[in-house]
Amino acid sequence: MSMFCYQCQEVAKNTGCTIKGVCGKNKEVAKLQDLLIYTIKGVSDVVVKGKVDITKHDETNYEVLSCLFMTITNANFDGVSIEKQIRKMMAKRDGLRKSVLAENLHDAATFTVDSRDDML
């Protein structure tokens, strides 16, 4: 079974890795990283469509940057910390969403998960 990391630009021939990533990550971590990126896309969708003044949200800005760093190749293969960050960003996204009127939000701005299995 193969895996493909959407974050990775170093994968050989752009065909994805087999068994384990060229960088050393496993399929589970790759999926969690993908979901983390999807989650911050949801934050972005709320910010843009809700016309949020993001200059008043320093902590959210910091956390988005932390998320991006967590997904670069060889930066973080700790599935537990990535899962915690997904949950944290979902809470931030949902808090922002409740504070604004935003319509036609993307699924990334509204999805929910109840467990790690749901994340995977």
**What single DSSP character describes residue 113?**
-
> What CATH architecture applies to the domain 27-119?
Up-down Bundle (1.20)
Summarised one tens digit per residue, pLDDT across range 89-102 is 999 999 999 999 98
Phi/psi at 110 (5° precision)? -135, -15
Radius of gyration of the chain (CA): 15
Q: What is the pLDDT of residue 75?
A: 74
Summarised one tens digit per residue, pLDDT across range 12-70 is 566 666 666 667 788 898 889 999 999 999 999 999 999 999 999 999 999 999 999 99
Q: What is the pLDDT of residue 1?
A: 47
How many CB atoms are located within 10 Å of the residue 69 CB? 10
Q: What is the pLDDT of residue 14?
A: 66
| Most distant pair of Cα atoms in the chain: their distance | 45
